[in-house]
Amino acid sequence: MIYDAIIIGAGMSGLAAGIRLAYFDKKVCILEKHSRVGGLNSFYTFNGYKLDVGLHAVTNYVPKGIKSAPLPKLLRQLRLRIEDFDLYQQKMSAVRFPDKCLRFTNDFNFFVQEIAENFPSQTDNFQQLLKKIFAYDELSLTAKPVSARKVVSSYLSDPLLIEMIFCPLMYYGSARENDVEFAQFVIMFKSILCEGFARPQVGVRKIIEALVGKYRECGGELRINSGVKTIRIIDNKVKSVLLENGEELIGEKIISSAGYLETMQLLSGLDPSKVKTREGQLSFMEFILILDTEPTKKGYDTTITFYNNSNEFVYQKPVGLADISSGVICCPNNFLFDKPLPEGIIRITNMANFELWDGLDEEDYRIQKTECLEATLKEVAKIIPDFRSSIKAVDIFTPKTIHKYTGHLNGAPYGAPDKIKDGRTHLDNLFICGTDQGFLGIVGAMLSGISMANLHVLMG
């Protein structure tokens, strides 16, 4: 059996690529090394609580009827309906700095108004920046990379406003320290601020189930517990994929969502001079807190709060284990659901240092997790209502956990800082999709899989 395509990784991008290929009658097999699909955005059960990992919210939410935005675009491509994702909109989110707070909803005009009220001197500059953003083709596969900081600061002159705009956008997708490539900035700006947040009632599993269901319905083959050991190369082409269990699969084309460097490391007889990318350095830790009450009962009604406790936002690998001076507080309860979630949940995400966590012995690892938890809770209590007395269970993951479950080098969920937009590698029939291709967020991830499948298999 020779597959038309073998896809490495059953995350959002791999599944989306798989649906496209299987729908158009390609023989396709998705290989997932874990027992569960989803990759960076997955779900698990902890002490009986059903929890999400990765995804805080689906970005790019637009109401039914709008056709030209990324979400409806990808639904059309996957032959899915918006109802299949069961999305409910956010209430309101906020970027909180010591002196200012910018709130945003899924109505972009509200955010424009917030800017006008908080930064009146920047109103016209912001309009000019919007013109630039809306005229930019962020999905171009050939555009030259430019620094977003450079572009944005040529329009806005108040450094605080610049920092406050970069904060949420960096947190939700930048693989690059302290800056982001402008096309990616535009993708994130539109997906978070112009469009907005939503969440399925039951969390990310709804989306993953919809994708897997569609893929299977189209006749695609999905193998879990099937890690790739080696990608065998002959004459500048992938000849076959050798699995950890010893099985060998042959495919005409290979699409890997494992990350660029991670995929290169699987190649047999790799020529190191062919590998040109830097490793990603940004990793995170997350505290998942189960509360004995709904967060609204504690007076907390915000969906997602991005906080920073000084006027300068630093987005880089922390020198210590974690950097609690900024972070993201996500409350899955605070979406406009029809019925309340079974538990009150707060998730806090902070930047963290992979090497330091990786270097700890088992006991220190446990102790440090608890110490970081206490420190971050203390910090967060300055920003949102103090809910420490309501916590009934806590789960914590570190960069080490991300590395273990996603295979991403340095536990960097956003991958390498330099993206490969056309997905090509030095090998004729090996392509990259997902994180290192560079469309961000989960909608971006799915679009990445779709674009690469279209470009390299269906058209190529």
Partner 1 sequence: MTREDIRSTILEVIADIVPDEDLSALTGDVRIRDQIELDSMDFLDIIMELRKRYGVEVPEDDYMELATLDGSVNYLEPRMKEI
Interface positions with partner 1 (CB under 8 A): 23-25, 65, 67-68, 73, 76-77, 450, 454, 458-459
If you ran DSSP here, which 8-state letter would residue 458 be given?
Answer: I
Nearer to partner 1, 15 or 80 (CB): 80
Cα–Cα distance for residue pair 21/433, rounded to 1 Å: 14
Nearer to partner 1, 77 or 349 (CB): 77
Nearest distance from residue 456's CB to partner 1, in Å? 13
Nearer to partner 1, 70 or 203 (CB): 70
CA atoms within 13 A on the CB side of 54: 30
Beta bridge mates, 431: 255, 424
Query: What is the DSSP code string of 226-285?
Result: --EEEEEEETTEEEEEEETTS-EEEEEEEEE-S-HHHHHTTBTT--GGG--PPPP--EEE
φ, ψ at 283 (rounded to 5°):
-130, 175
Nearer to partner 1, 218 or 420 (CB): 218
Query: What is the DSSP code string of 303-328?
Result: SEEEEESSSS---S--SSSEEEEEEE
Packing angle between helix 205-217 and helix 12-23, nearest 10 degrees? 20
Query: What is the DSSP code string of 168-223?
Result: HHHHTT--STT--BHHHHHHHIIIIIII--EEETT-THHHHHHHHHHHHHTT-EEE
Nearest distance from residue 21's CB to partner 1, in Å? 11
Nearer to partner 1, 160 or 447 (CB): 447
Nearer to partner 1, 214 or 317 (CB): 214
φ, ψ at 41 (rounded to 5°):
-120, 100
φ/ψ region of 48 (left if φ > 0, alpha if ψ in -120 to 50, else beta) reads: left
Nearest distance from residue 59's CB to partner 1, in Å? 19
Nearest distance from residue 65's CB to partner 1, in Å? 7
Nearest distance from residue 446's CB to partner 1, in Å? 12
- Amino acid in position 88: Y
Nearer to partner 1, 68 or 142 (CB): 68
Nearer to partner 1, 139 or 231 (CB): 139
Nearest distance from residue 72's CB to partner 1, in Å? 9
Nearest distance from residue 67's CB to partner 1, in Å? 5
Dmax (CA) of the chain: 65
Nearest distance from residue 453's CB to partner 1, in Å? 11
458: exposed, middle or buried (Cβ count in 10 Å: 0-12, 13-18, 19+):
middle
Nearest distance from residue 173's CB to partner 1, in Å? 22
Cα–Cα distance for residue pair 114/126, rounded to 1 Å: 12
Nearer to partner 1, 183 or 457 (CB): 457
Cα 148 to chain centroid distance, Å, stands at: 19
